[in-house]
Amino acid sequence: MMRFGFDIGGTNIAAGIIDENNRLIVKDSVKFPRGEGNEAVIAACAGLYRSILANAAISENDIKGVGVAVPGSVLPQKGIVVDAHNLGFHHTPLAAVLSDALHKPVELINDADAATLAEQKIGSLVGTSTSVMITIGTGIGGGLIVNGELFRGGRGNGTEPGHMVLRNDGRLCTCGVKGCAEVYCSATRLCKDGEAFGKPTAKDVIEAAKAGNEQALALFREYVDDFGSYIASIVNLLDPERIAIGGGVSGAGSFLLDPLREDVARKCFFETCPEIVVASAGNDAGIIGAGLIVS
């Protein structure tokens, strides 16, 4: 049977239908109704669900269930989003409420875990037994494949590699702690620091660095230094076979990956480093991974 996946982000809610071969056969998105409350989010999800089914002429009866990826910690067994700071969800019983609205069973997953599952099934992590996916966007998310399975935390809370502390008493993170990796290695860091010299997006900073702009190059080098320290720590912790880097910043390709690989090789404990590659399941990895968890 087919499965339905949602990827709820702070800007857009994207969703689609996954067929029996794990292919996304139809998708669409709507704006995340920021600041309008949880009911508005549920209404937006329900509207998107119905319009995707109607446009694809697929009956609700052909949908086995619904998976939902959210940018935060979830308790999958209880169907609760514990904290998704960028969505304003705190102890939100999302699975039950959405299940009532859609008349389907609903399962929750962290957005980066969903992307990791998609990478493992159809993307850059296919064939690995122990591997890591790190997504670099507004925030930093990540997922771990351990012994061929997505590792969802020892106590069921999931994993939050974006909130490993990189600097004591560093810049304040949205989670309330100072110095998280997210503050130093996300696209948001490039945007914030780039603003100071008129390059307010990560893309602007990267393009300017490529063109040899001194300020952009200095910022980019500092960014790679931070990012390298972060990835080297992950390598030391897990000794993974491969690390996939996804999210908007990974679009910089070898301009980012080449110096990053060198930096990680310098800092990691082992004689050799794991492969570091760009994620390949694309922007829809969250929707696909959400669909994949439907049991």
Residues found near ligand BGC in the complex (CB under 6 A): 71-72, 110-112, 135, 139-141, 160, 162, 182
What share of residues in the chain are helix, strand, coil (percent, to 5)?
40, 25, 35
Nearest distance from residue 178's CB to ligand BGC, in Å? 15
Nearer to ligand BGC, 150 or 268 (CB): 150
3-state secondary structure (DSSP) of residue 257: helix
Nearest distance from residue 239's CB to ligand BGC, in Å? 23
Nearest distance from residue 279's CB to ligand BGC, in Å? 13
Residue 211 contacts residue 243 (beta carbons within 8 Å): no
What are the backbone angles phi and psi of residue 78, rounded to the nearest 5°? -95, -10
Nearer to ligand BGC, 84 or 122 (CB): 84
Nearest distance from residue 286's CB to ligand BGC, in Å? 9
DSSP 253: T
Nearest one of 80, 147, 154 to 110, comparing CA atoms: 80
For 126, the token pair is 């296919």
Nearer to ligand BGC, 123 or 162 (CB): 162
Nearer to ligand BGC, 6 or 268 (CB): 6
Q: Which residue has the tokens 């004591």?
A: 168
Residue 179 contacts residue 162 (beta carbons within 8 Å): no
Residue whose beta carbon is closest to ligand BGC: 141
DSSP 239: -
Nearest distance from residue 63's CB to ligand BGC, in Å? 25
Nearest one of 36, 10, 185, 212 to 111, comparing CA atoms: 10
Nearer to ligand BGC, 89 or 216 (CB): 89
Nearest distance from residue 75's CB to ligand BGC, in Å? 13
Nearer to ligand BGC, 123 or 139 (CB): 139
